[in-house]
């Protein structure tokens, strides 16, 4: 190409001609021996496009620009050389980008069309097969079920929550089966909280029937926790039933109405903890009577039938609830009996329970002054007064009642919980041993800041 360029330069008197030149594609056919065209020729090592680019590059070396700048002159320049019938025109970058966008849109449209067609095919295929399968069925047990499964429905639980509980307990085969049966029974808004006895692998409609049958009677649901004091229990009852708390309070101060022994000052300790479903037709006295009867029944089943002994057991049980965990209830009960039965011993017959002192003070903080600890006028102060306090200090649960009625014999007089998180409790025979255990508790409190400030 460089030779061709020099020929042009010489023909114009040493100056580079501004005449645009035209690149013709190389033809593979043998050329004649006659005169060749003045246009640039390309050997086998270059394609037409390569030659064109190479030629422009050569020109640029001498002029600082390429022949692209002269395209606009092609139609105006009169050339003495014959114009080749075929001209290689390269597409501009802009044209190339537009073409790519068009092709991309076409591909996207084609993909969308294919996707829609595929969806339509799947839909019609399912509709065609569905009649042969008898439709899609929700898993459900045939029933009637076996065994016994206790199901607890919490207040405010909706149909889906109950369905999940029944499915996880294997009462029903699927949540949807229960929800469908509940909808068919039109009972989605009629589920009442409480504990229900059901069977394993029941038919969903049977499970719904049990829940709705139990819900036919309108009830007040009340959950009474263990360790609650009487004023706390009465507040729960008032909130659950809508009956004024004052009515419950007035009745609780009349223990004789409920057949309690003379030493009972009120209903403290007799209002059994648990979950209740009181009929909306019950009044305050009937509700309290039902709870007292539950406590008496628990005591009788434990082997305690005498009313005075029942009162004593309830008092010890209420202290045990605050002094330890169920795992050591029986040991604590035995240690309390050791103290009560040995008035001349190291403890002087005193129980020395912080929980009793705070009850008498009307607080729940175990931080009280030395004067309060020594105050004998507090009838619940078991540091200052030997023997049991004048009555229960809360509502004990069944395990505490059993432990109080059947204490475990042991040689201990002292106990202290050294880990409030795990409930670990250490026992001792002497006060010196007990002080070593108290030091462990103090060390735990120091390592767990804020845990012992109650």
DSSP 28-86: -SPPPSSPPPSS----TTS-HHHHHHHHHHHHHHHHSS-GGGGGGGTTT---SSPPPS-
Judge contact between 420 and 349, C-beta under 8 A. no
What pLDDT sits at residue 15?
41
**Domain final residue pick, 49, 73, 97:** 73
**What range defines the domain where residue 155 resides?**
146-216
Do residue 200 and residue 249 come from a single domain? no
**Domain final residue pick, 165, 191, 216:** 216
- Rounded to the nearest 10°, the torsion over CA 119, 122, 123, 126 is -170
Do residue 303 and residue 201 come from a single domain? no
- Do the domain assignments include residue 445? no
What's the distance, CA 326 to chain centroid?
29
| CA 56 – CA 230 distance, rounded (Å) | 104
Element (DSSP H or E) covering residue 147: strand 146-153
| CA 268 – CA 163 distance, rounded (Å) | 39
What pLDDT sits at residue 266?
98
What pLDDT sits at residue 3?
43
Do residue 287 and residue 183 come from a single domain? no
What pLDDT sits at residue 26?
44
| CA 395 – CA 292 distance, rounded (Å) | 11
- β-pairing, 274-279 vs 219-224, is antiparallel
Q: Among 311, 208, 207, 214, which residue's Cα sits nearest to residue 255?
A: 311
What pLDDT sits at residue 38?
45
With the C-alpha atoms ordered 369, 375, 378, 384, is the resulting torsion angle positive or negative?
Answer: positive
- Do the domain assignments include residue 86? no
Element (DSSP H or E) covering residue 149: strand 146-153
Do residue 155 and residue 242 come from a single domain? no
Counting the structural domains of the chain, the total is 3
What pLDDT sits at residue 60?
42
Taking only the tens of pLDDT, the chain with its 454 residues reads 444 333 443 444 444 444 444 444 444 444 444 444 444 444 444 444 444 444 444 444 444 444 444 444 444 444 445 555 555 555 555 555 656 666 667 777 777 778 878 877 776 665 555 545 444 578 999 888 888 888 888 877 888 999 999 999 999 999 999 999 988 887 655 677 777 878 899 999 889 888 886 555 677 888 898 889 999 999 999 998 999 999 999 999 999 999 999 999 999 999 999 888 888 899 999 999 999 999 999 999 999 999 999 999 999 999 999 998 999 999 999 999 999 999 999 999 999 999 999 999 999 888 899 999 999 999 999 999 999 999 999 999 999 999 999 999 999 999 999 998 998 999 999 999 999 999 999 999 999 988 887 6
Judge contact between 435 and 448, C-beta under 8 A. no
pTM for this one? 0.59
Task: Give pairs for 244-249: CB < 8 Å, separation 24+.
Answer: 247/284, 248/284, 248/287, 248/288
| CA 27 – CA 251 distance, rounded (Å) | 120
What pLDDT sits at residue 91?
54
- Do the domain assignments include residue 438? no
Do residue 271 and residue 158 come from a single domain? no
Judge contact between 90 and 49, C-beta under 8 A. yes
Element (DSSP H or E) covering residue 150: strand 146-153
Judge contact between 192 and 153, C-beta under 8 A. yes
What pLDDT sits at residue 55?
46
- Do the domain assignments include residue 222? no
Distances (CA, A) of 58 to 53, 74, 130, 176: 9, 20, 75, 81
What pLDDT sits at residue 136?
56
- Do the domain assignments include residue 309? yes
For 338, the 3-state DSSP assignment is helix
């Amino acid at each position: 190409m460089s030779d061709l360029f020099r020929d042009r330069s010489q023909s114009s008197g040493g100056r580079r001609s501004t005449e645009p030149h035209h690149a013709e594609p190389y033809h593979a056919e043998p050329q004649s021996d006659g005169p060749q065209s003045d246009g640039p020729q390309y050997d086998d090592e270059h394609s037409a496009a390569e030659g064109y680019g190479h030629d422009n590059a050569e020109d640029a070396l001498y002029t600082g620009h390429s022949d692209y700048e002269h395209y606009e002159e092609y139609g105006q320049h009169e050339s003495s050389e014959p114009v080749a019938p075929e001209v290689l025109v390269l597409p501009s970058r802009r044209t190339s980008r537009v073409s790519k966008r068009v092709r991309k849109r076409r591909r996207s449209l084609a993909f969308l069309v294919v996707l829609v067609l595929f969806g339509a095919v799947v839909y019609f295929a399912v509709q065609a097969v569905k009649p042969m399968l008898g439709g899609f069925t929700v898993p459900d047990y045939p029933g009637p079920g076996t065994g016994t499964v206790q199901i607890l429905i919490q207040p405010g639980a909706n149909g889906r929550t109950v369905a999940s509980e029944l499915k996880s307990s294997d009462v029903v085969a699927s949540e949807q089966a229960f929800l469908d049966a509940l909808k068919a029974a039109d009972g989605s808004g009629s589920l009442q909280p409480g504990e229900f006895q059901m069977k394993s692998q029941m038919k969903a409609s049977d499970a719904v029937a049990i829940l709705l049958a139990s819900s036919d009677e309108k009830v007040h649901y009340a959950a009474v926790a263990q360790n609650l004091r009487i004023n706390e229990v009465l507040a729960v009852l008032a909130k659950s039933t809508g009956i004024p708390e004052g009515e419950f309070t007035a009745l609780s101060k009349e223990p004789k109405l409920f057949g309690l022994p003379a030493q009972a000052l009120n209903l403290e300790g007799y209002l059994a903890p648990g979950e209740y479903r009181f009929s909306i037709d019950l009044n305050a006295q009937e509700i309290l009577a039902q709870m007292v009867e539950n406590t008496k029944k628990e005591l009788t089943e434990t082997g305690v039938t005498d009313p005075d002994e029942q009162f004593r057991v309830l008092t010890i049980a209420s202290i045990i609830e605050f002094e330890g965990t169920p795992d050591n209830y029986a040991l604590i009960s035995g240690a309390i009996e050791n103290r009560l039965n040995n008035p001349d011993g190291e403890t002087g017959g005193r129980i020395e329970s912080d929980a009793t002192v705070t009850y008498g003070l009307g607080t729940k903080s175990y931080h009280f002054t030395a004067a309060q600890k020594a105050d004998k006028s507090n009838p619940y102060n078991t540091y200052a007064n030997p023997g049991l306090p004048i009555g229960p200090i809360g509502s004990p649960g069944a395990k505490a009642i059993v432990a109080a009625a059947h204490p475990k014999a042991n040689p201990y007089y002292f106990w202290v919980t050294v880990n409030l998180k795990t409930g670990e409790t250490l026992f001792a025979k002497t006060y010196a041993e007990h002080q070593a255990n108290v030091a462990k508790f103090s060390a735990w409190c120091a390592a767990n800041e804020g845990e012992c400030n109650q």
